[in-house]
Amino acid sequence: MHASNQVICQPLTEHAFAPYGWMLGKPLPAPAAAAVAFSNAATDFWQQHVFDAGAGGETEILWVNYRSTEPMIGTLEVHDLTEQALVPLTGPVLHVVARSRDDGSPDLASLRAFALHPGQGVCMRPGCWHASRVPEREAACLMLTRRSTTADLVRHLRGEADGTESRLATLATPFLLAT
């Protein structure tokens, strides 16, 4: 939840993240036979989400390191075409999200922060504004995204071209990320 210009990190739950996308790491459904799932003495596997990279999109797997411990959130990023999944592998990530308003700008009343721990993650819908921090040390993460969105973002972040599939928003008043 957030008070004025402060957003408090909350535990990740399926319900709490539903306005922004899907929680990953939901438990094995019981009975496994009732879902897209399998379980035997050697293994369990069960569906978390069917990823959608958007029309014409190629799903891409990225390895991502986050290492910023900056508590002030002054910039948010959004991808307009694709879902984006983020799964921390080596340490926790503090993931800040906000929905889009009808005009495509961040709906700051919906700003929330979730603590993502290894073994769980999120898949954001297109249009979900976000920023990521770590509480202490660098965390390596697996990311599912759209190949063209990554190429477009790299060009944009290098200053080579304006972004066409992603946007950055500078907040008039930065938020303090509280844990």
Ligand X SMILES: NC(=O)N[C@@H](O)C(=O)O
Closest contact distance (angstroms) between CB of 25 and ligand X is 19
Which residues lie near ligand X (CB under 6 A)? Answer: 62, 64, 77, 84, 130, 132, 145, 150, 153
> Which residue's CB is nearer to ligand X, number 29 or number 118?
118
User: DSSP per residue over 45-76, as a string?
Assistant: EE--------TTPPEEEEEEEE-----EEEEE
> Which residue's CB is nearer to ligand X, number 44 or number 138?
138
Count of residues in the chain? 179
Closest contact distance (angstroms) between CB of 38 and ligand X is 32
Amino acid, single-letter form, for residue 73: I
Closest contact distance (angstroms) between CB of 149 and ligand X is 6
Closest contact distance (angstroms) between CB of 156 and ligand X is 10
> Which residue's CB is nearer to ligand X, number 37 or number 80?
80
Q: How many CA atoms lie within 13 A of 98 on its CB side?
A: 25
93 near 116, Cβ under 8 Å?
yes
